[in-house]
Structure 1
């Protein structure tokens, strides 16, 4: 009988595993995929799921992912290494050690290995459940995507204690975002994250299924094949995620449950074999009201600091109050910042604050936390005056008898359509701020964030570009008079395009959306109506100079041929009639300065990636162009960030025209305080080593997240970043430089090495500085970094 029972159990086990193995198409050792197009994938037997590379928005970056393959959206349900997508040409290979993802240079950037690591992988498969598995000897799963989830779980997936999900940063950015789901201590909990760190704030939803009695505590988090999601306790009982109830299963639906970028855990459904215009719909969500679910003295709330949250169609929506604009117009959940000067000090000390500030009323919104003073009984006028004459006060809440004063940043803002209260914002008279009739603050937000894109560089480059366009006008005007309408061959061979004015007028909707303005022109956002329909930044120039025709044509030809993923692209120009226009690639995330010097500071590994991207762009300019280009003004304001926070160097065009007028070169360059190489102040030839010096200063800024010159420090040595860094480096106080940042101190070997590289870059003698190619090799670890000597001219570049 015992033998019969054992045989029966074995048969039952085999039958229970049969659906998994019958639905698996084995992938053999040595199989590989390449990040070259969206067809590089492995399919499940039914074809409902695919595993492979997905190109990100026609860029040169690819995401290793699993997705629904039979629906038009190709919705991604799992991804690898979202913080660092794979560049074009990367390869994934199945080896006995697991999955290995290598970049085009053959360097491993991600892997999935069996547990324990001593087990050899024999094959892999993508199951019809959407689970990608690695199999060892004996057909056991030694690694599963189901056991290593990202933001989504699927039917037939079970999470063990200690499992977690993390949201994406945005719908199109697969970096780890601002929310996490944790299944710990028997309960499912949703937590905000102190982004860009991974530090957790208090939960805003909990299943509350933990128990002192371990048998009654949650043990498994189950998404069953019928589409129901619940918790299984240690004693076998089930518990629902309140207030969810059991749903009626339907075989004609796809299901998924995702922790969305807005922090809402949502179960979605999609009708199989549906029309192409159908999309996923939400069956149920947790929590029901995200705006009120998060309520904590620590952290910003669901929408970021200085913003407020409202529910639109069941989802949280974020807006800015009067006088504030979005920190990132493309991610409204990252908070808002004031669009005017604040506080007291400087020239304000001698003026009446009532002449500087005024109150703007804004109702039906509340920031319930963060009061630092309550005044009562008070009338509204007293409340307004108290805030105006208080340097710390940014906003006051008045309810008829009481006045609560608040300072920035404001947190946990939410829309409130009931109850009497007035929100009184203090704004500076005469400053540019958002239209108070537009609560979103988004229209004026773009000029502030993106104005630095094309007008934030030095005046010098605007002048040179003006000269450039004027020369083009002269050349073409001469050709027209001569009856020759053929474009100059040296320019026509480039990637630059000649736009006509009507085309640009249509692209910008009659120059409607202004991004920023400067002394030489206005920049507008546009979208090309034909072809790619890409967004563009259009700069209308209003002042021109007439000089240096032959030199400009040579330079324009060279710059038009430049093409690198870490350079901002100058697409073309227009010189029709009186119109002088330059057309640039549109960059949606502003300058590196905006990111680097903001609060909270960006993630350490994001800063590492950006540093490498800038170095690659400079190597291209110095050594890989047909005509080498010296930038001459490397600084965070001239590094722009695209929608994926990929760094691109701007204002590199026509840089080496500076060499034709050395005295003018000194005058113009000295305006960029803190980045100027010492040789600019000496009567010596200028080489590409001036860019190396500036890169070294900027690398220190990226490491320390502070500006190169901050004179408000009492300690003079700390005021000049290069001085302070070298002191700390010699004394071994590296943790102080990064303000004890956990990720940076954990990566201490890289921190130490990169500080040495930066110190080599800022040596006084140009011959002592490495070339950018050598800098790149040292940053990537291909070359050893010797002990650097003490630079002797830290202050030369800032005392003028």
Structure 2
């Protein structure tokens, strides 16, 4: 019996390794992967971080604090956890050569954006959150300095690692214990127990696959997905009877809920018209097939009777509209990062999905911000799937005033270029922190339409007026001019003149030269 129990423990360890897909890529954001003596990956949050989902050791790790430049920043409030032989190879935003450890730490300490500094061979790399592809390897010969707020350390937090000693990961101790147990089990095995073990492994693999892959019936289309089908009563309980309303959309209301320990956003679709049900099926089908860091992730859905609901991950920092048009003006660098994120998310929807997705309602209210203020495109309730050989939709005009492309009002094909137009308007909003359509009650020169005013400012070389003399933007005037030019290209009345979102990204990054844009609406201007 003892040997059999040991084999069961071995089976559990084996299946955990199988679920991790035997690769360090299985570890989530801010997580650190190390390998045990069996070359199996083990994920562990570093000090100063904790699991977002305590039941998923391979998931994302959340920091005890998030570096922010939107509040008063004092370097005296922060210190570092020093970790040896740990690196996150991506996410560098600044590099200091011919540096020493103290200079590296000091530079990160003074930088409100810096979350971790990596030091190796007289070079310092500064990184922002979130961190990805973290791994621990004794051959790296690097030192990681993880910033933490002195007063925010968790109770009972262990002291910093002394220089020269690696951090203690609980996973290392578990790996050694697992190795001892596994070795004992293998040496004490018998033919009969091996047969039983083989059967159990096969059965375990079957159960994992059965749990992982669910077939969602969407009107005859079968989709392999990890999304969960909820019962309506489960979502009633999760949202406390739909008590906490987050916002309203074209097809329903969004409520905050809690499932287990995880906050979620539950979108309850109105069934006032038949089209709402079609949109629900389209949305589940589309989002179930997508995965991108700049898209809001669909966690589950409900089609219980006449109820149609969608369950999304909760975005803690609200909408881009609140962020852009609030009392505090976001920094120029932050706004640029948000613009890049939206562009990448749209490019993915247009060109990287197996079936092209046109959003049809890109606006700041449909861009959400996660805990790191990364842009996430939301609300696929207006999305329309198009086969690659289709050139137009037949569902009528969609979108929001101020963001709708001209071809919606004409008998011309509607393509992904309608999203490019909306992105152009949104980009000009991000640049200026002004709404696309706004009254002129104050009597200033800013008229009702932002796109016309932006063109005038560009033509008259008054970009300072467009950004209200934002000093950070004016210091980076080359990028500012590039962003404005890209925005003007995106809002060209003729869809064929608009770039694709892939080209937009290249222009924003400076990989492709941006030519002088023509007047976006020459016909409209000539008739005025």
State the TM-score, normalizing by the size of structure 1.
Answer: 0.42
Task: Mark the CA change 1:494 to 1:727 in structure 2 (over 3 Å): closer, same or farther.
Answer: same
**Separation of aligned partners in 1, 2:499 and 2:333:** 24
The residue that corresponds to 2:19 in the other structure is none
1:730 equivalenced with 2:478 (yes/no): no
The residue that corresponds to 2:103 in the other structure is 144
**Separation of aligned partners in 2, 1:760 and 1:556:** 33
Query: Contact (CA 8 Å) 1:508, 1:524: kept in 2 or not?
Result: yes
Alignment match of 1:754 (pick from 474, 480, 483): 483
Query: 1:521 Cα shift?
Result: 4.8
Query: 1:109 Cα shift?
Result: 2.1
1:572 equivalenced with 2:277 (yes/no): no
**Separation of aligned partners in 2, 1:650 and 1:548:** 17
| Consecutive unaligned residues in structure 1, runs of 5 or more | 1-33, 42-49, 66-74, 81-88, 92-101, 116-132, 135-142, 151-164, 176-257, 261-265, 271-275, 282-484
The residue that corresponds to 2:95 in the other structure is 111
1:665 equivalenced with 2:396 (yes/no): yes
Alignment match of 2:246 (pick from 500, 515, 518): 515
1:493 equivalenced with 2:487 (yes/no): no
The residue that corresponds to 1:636 in the other structure is 364
Alignment match of 1:620 (pick from 348, 353, 359): 348
* SS of structure 2 residue aligned to 1:665: coil
1:771 equivalenced with 2:500 (yes/no): yes
The residue that corresponds to 1:525 in the other structure is 256
Task: Mark the CA change 1:628 to 1:259 in structure 2 (over 3 Å): closer, same or farther.
Answer: closer
1:536 equivalenced with 2:269 (yes/no): no
Query: Contact (CA 8 Å) 2:232, 2:304: kept in 1 or not?
Result: yes
The residue that corresponds to 2:510 in the other structure is 781
Task: Mark the CA change 1:564 to 1:61 in structure 2 (over 3 Å): closer, same or farther.
Answer: farther
Task: Mark the CA change 1:717 to 1:646 in structure 2 (over 3 Å): closer, same or farther.
Answer: closer
Larger deviation, residues 770-779 vs 487-496 = 487-496
* SS of structure 2 residue aligned to 1:789: coil
**Equivalenced residues, count:** 379
Query: 1:490 Cα shift?
Result: 3.5
**Separation of aligned partners in 2, 1:555 and 1:514:** 21
The residue that corresponds to 1:605 in the other structure is 333
Question: Counting strand residues as a fraction of each chain, which structure ranks higher?
Answer: 1
Task: Mark the CA change 1:550 to 1:721 in structure 2 (over 3 Å): closer, same or farther.
Answer: closer
Query: Contact (CA 8 Å) 1:539, 1:582: kept in 2 or not?
Result: yes
Note the alpha carbon deviations across 1:344-363, whole angstroms, 9 max, x for none.
xxxxxxxxxxxxxxxxxxxx
Q: How does 1:625-704 map to 2 (within 5 A)?
A: 625-653=353-381, 655-656=383-384, 665-666=396-397, 668-669=398-399, 672-704=400-432
Larger deviation, residues 511-520 vs 767-776 = 511-520
Larger deviation, residues 511-520 vs 52-61 = 52-61
**Separation of aligned partners in 1, 2:518 and 2:294:** 31
The residue that corresponds to 1:78 in the other structure is 80
1:505 equivalenced with 2:254 (yes/no): no
Task: Mark the CA change 1:568 to 1:600 in structure 2 (over 3 Å): closer, same or farther.
Answer: same
**Separation of aligned partners in 1, 2:62 and 2:515:** 34
Query: 1:742 Cα shift?
Result: 1.0
The residue that corresponds to 1:741 in the other structure is 470
Task: Mark the CA change 1:715 to 1:512 in structure 2 (over 3 Å): closer, same or farther.
Answer: closer
**Separation of aligned partners in 2, 1:522 and 1:608:** 30
1:560 equivalenced with 2:285 (yes/no): no
**Separation of aligned partners in 2, 1:624 and 1:278:** 46
**Separation of aligned partners in 1, 2:494 and 2:151:** 62
Task: Mark the CA change 1:678 to 1:36 in structure 2 (over 3 Å): closer, same or farther.
Answer: same
* SS of structure 2 residue aligned to 1:144: helix
Alignment match of 1:38 (pick from 28, 32, 39): 32
Aligned-residue RMSD, C-alpha: 4.3
Q: How does 1:206-285 map to 2 (within 5 A)?
A: 278=156
**Separation of aligned partners in 2, 1:519 and 1:653:** 8
Task: Mark the CA change 1:709 to 1:499 in structure 2 (over 3 Å): closer, same or farther.
Answer: same
Query: Contact (CA 8 Å) 1:491, 1:553: kept in 2 or not?
Result: no
Greater C-alpha radius of gyration: 1
Query: Contact (CA 8 Å) 1:494, 1:561: kept in 2 or not?
Result: yes
Query: 1:662 Cα shift?
Result: 6.0
Query: 1:782 Cα shift?
Result: 1.1
Query: 1:498 Cα shift?
Result: 0.9
Task: Mark the CA change 1:536 to 1:146 in structure 2 (over 3 Å): closer, same or farther.
Answer: closer
**Separation of aligned partners in 2, 1:554 and 1:711:** 36
**Which fold has the larger relative contact order, with Cα–Cα distance below 8 Å and residues 6 or more apart in sequence?**
2
**Separation of aligned partners in 2, 1:680 and 1:517:** 24
**Separation of aligned partners in 2, 1:750 and 1:167:** 22
**Separation of aligned partners in 1, 2:31 and 2:115:** 19
Query: Contact (CA 8 Å) 1:38, 1:55: kept in 2 or not?
Result: no
**Separation of aligned partners in 2, 1:279 and 1:589:** 28
**Separation of aligned partners in 2, 1:683 and 1:635:** 24
Note the alpha carbon deviations across 1:194-246, whole angstroms, 9 max, x for none.
xxxxxxxxxxxxxxxxxxxxxxxxxxxxxxxxxxxxxxxxxxxxxxxxxxxxx
Query: Contact (CA 8 Å) 2:78, 2:148: kept in 1 or not?
Result: no
Q: How does 1:172-571 map to 2 (within 5 A)?
A: 278=156, 487=217, 490-516=221-247, 521-529=252-260, 533-546=261-274, 556-571=284-299
Task: Mark the CA change 1:722 to 1:555 in structure 2 (over 3 Å): closer, same or farther.
Answer: closer
Query: Contact (CA 8 Å) 2:358, 2:384: kept in 1 or not?
Result: yes
Task: Mark the CA change 1:60 to 1:758 in structure 2 (over 3 Å): closer, same or farther.
Answer: farther
Alignment match of 2:322 (pick from 583, 589, 594): 594
Query: 1:145 Cα shift?
Result: 3.9
* SS of structure 1 residue aligned to 2:430: helix
Task: Mark the CA change 1:548 to 1:632 in structure 2 (over 3 Å): closer, same or farther.
Answer: closer
Larger deviation, residues 678-687 vs 52-61 = 52-61
Task: Mark the CA change 1:661 to 1:146 in structure 2 (over 3 Å): closer, same or farther.
Answer: closer
